[in-house]
Amino acid sequence: MMAGRRDLRRYSRHLLIPEVGLAGQEKLARARVLVIGAGGLGSPVLAYLAAAGVGRIVIVDDDTVDETNLQRQILYDTADVGKPKAHRAAERLRALNPQIAIDALATRFDAANARELVRLVDVVVDGSDTFSTRYLVNDACVLEGKPDVHGSIFRFDGQVSIFGAPGGPCYRCLYPEAPPEHLVPSCSEGGVLGVLAGIVGSFQAAEAIKLLLEIGTPLIGRLLLIDALDARVREVRIARDPACPLCGDAPSITGVGSVPERATPPATVPDLDLDALDTVLEAGGVLLDVREPHERALGEVPGALAIPVTVLEARMHELDTAKTYVVACRVGSKSRWAAERLKEAGFGRVYHLRDGLLALAARDATFDLF
């Protein structure tokens, strides 16, 4: 409950809104929200929920602050590099609003804790950046009967929706199968406009507050598509799938942690770790860098042969089928597809570099990748 005149002053601009008012502000003070991920999306979500007076916020993030995060993760500064995100975020939020409770969990949101954490709150905001975690969040929310405020970003494009609300679709209704890995590069591979995280995260915070106050028209059954490059916002309707194995009429999923896999042939190209890479290169093998030119601007790999994955088919004639190739990209998703394609084209000695060139750069002090 609100304590007195000081609270009235802090939240006065909320109290002036008929749809919020004193009763609504007291609802927010009693509310509990779980925010999964304190990164690009989590930063604006957490800041606005704390400023709004949400009574208890639970932060789950097992990562530490990296210098590359500072372009978009506005809760942190240069002095925070190397420190746990959950703890640093909690400190910032307590400074912003000392009247609320913050629980900082520097742990991974996984199948072992997902349902317990979701069960304790009213609304879940998903700021994660992997398909496996998004399915996990969705499943825990549906099974525990809690709404999942979803957001995602890549380059200039963002998405926002609410999954798992009564009568509405879940994430599995939208994505019955996880997209092929090479088609969904992460922000660390493809990049992201920093301010887009603020736009999408702010939408997520607004949707969470609407759900807590039970006002307006939440994004249930609606997917908001945000194009920051062309300044366009579109809406796509999503219906609950009666055949969905999680929220459909005859559900078969009763637990969390299962990522639906696309029926694809098993990988035929073996992975190499860094030690094995050294052995192959010493024996005359070639490291094939399939990053795009704009990616290579962040750092070249000495001795590597560079052929972008987008032109690999057209330039395959430049390669020698008698040689051994180790295919690599920034973190290892696009290179997996490229390596398999070389194998299909008749290259008999092809390997894939596990964990990508970032892992190689971390080990080798002679060059750097950002």
DSSP per-residue codes, 75-131: T--GGGTTSBHHHHHHHHHHHH-TTSEEEEE-S---TTTHHHHHHT-SEEEE---SH
The answer to whether residues 283 and 219 belong to one domain is no
- Assess if residue 357 is contained within a domain: yes
- Residue 76 belongs to domain with CATH number: 3.40.50.720
The tally of domains found in the chain comes to 2
What is the C-alpha to C-alpha distance for residues 35 and 103, in angstroms, rounded to an integer? 10
Residues in the chain: 370
| pLDDT for 19 | 97
| Average pLDDT over every residue of 6-24 | 93
- Residue 323 belongs to domain with CATH number: 3.40.250.10
| pLDDT for 183 | 52
Look at residues 219, 237, 255 and tell me which one is the last residue of a structural domain: 237
The answer to whether residues 143 and 215 belong to one domain is yes
| pLDDT for 364 | 79
The answer to whether residues 352 and 211 belong to one domain is no
pLDDT in tens, 136-163: 999 999 999 999 999 999 889 999 999 9
The answer to whether residues 45 and 188 belong to one domain is yes
pLDDT band, residue 1 (cuts 50/70/90): low
| pLDDT for 246 | 96
- Assess if residue 17 is contained within a domain: no
Residue entry with tokens 């002095």: 79
Q: What is the pTM of this model?
A: 0.78
| pLDDT for 270 | 93
| pLDDT for 181 | 54
Residue 370 in this model has a pLDDT that exceeds 90: no
pLDDT in tens, 200-249: 999 999 999 999 999 999 999 999 999 999 999 999 999 999 999 999 99
- Long-range residue pairs from 75-80, CB within 8 A, at least 24 positions apart, any chain: 75/38, 75/42, 75/43, 75/46, 75/47, 76/43
The answer to whether residues 216 and 281 belong to one domain is no
Q: What is the mean pLDDT of the chain?
A: 91
> Could you say which DSSP state residue 178 is in?
P
196 neighbors 249 (Cβ within 8 angstroms): no
331 neighbors 189 (Cβ within 8 angstroms): yes
Which domain range does residue 316 map to? Answer: 271-363
Q: Residue 323: is it exposed, middle or buried by C-beta count within 10 angstroms (0-12/13-18/19+)?
A: middle
The answer to whether residues 226 and 291 belong to one domain is no
What is the C-alpha to C-alpha distance for residues 223 and 267, in angstroms, rounded to an integer? 33
The answer to whether residues 179 and 291 belong to one domain is no
103 neighbors 86 (Cβ within 8 angstroms): no
What is the C-alpha to C-alpha distance for residues 1 and 312, in angstroms, rounded to an integer? 62
What is the C-alpha to C-alpha distance for residues 196 and 176, in angstroms, rounded to an integer? 26
Q: How far is CA 198 from the centre of its chain?
A: 14
List of residues 6+ apart from 105 with CB closer than 8 A: 58, 59, 60, 61, 86, 117
Alpha-helix runs per DSSP H in the chain:
5-10, 12-15, 21-30, 42-52, 85-96, 114-119, 131-144, 171-174, 187-190, 194-213, 274-282, 293-296, 312-315, 334-344, 356-363
| Average pLDDT over every residue of 53-75 | 96
The answer to whether residues 231 and 288 belong to one domain is no
93 neighbors 61 (Cβ within 8 angstroms): no
Residue 260 in this model has a pLDDT that exceeds 80: no
The answer to whether residues 175 and 310 belong to one domain is no
The answer to whether residues 148 and 218 belong to one domain is yes
What is the C-alpha to C-alpha distance for residues 338 and 356, in angstroms, rounded to an integer? 13
End-to-end CA distance of the chain: 47
- Assess if residue 25 is contained within a domain: no
The answer to whether residues 73 and 165 belong to one domain is yes
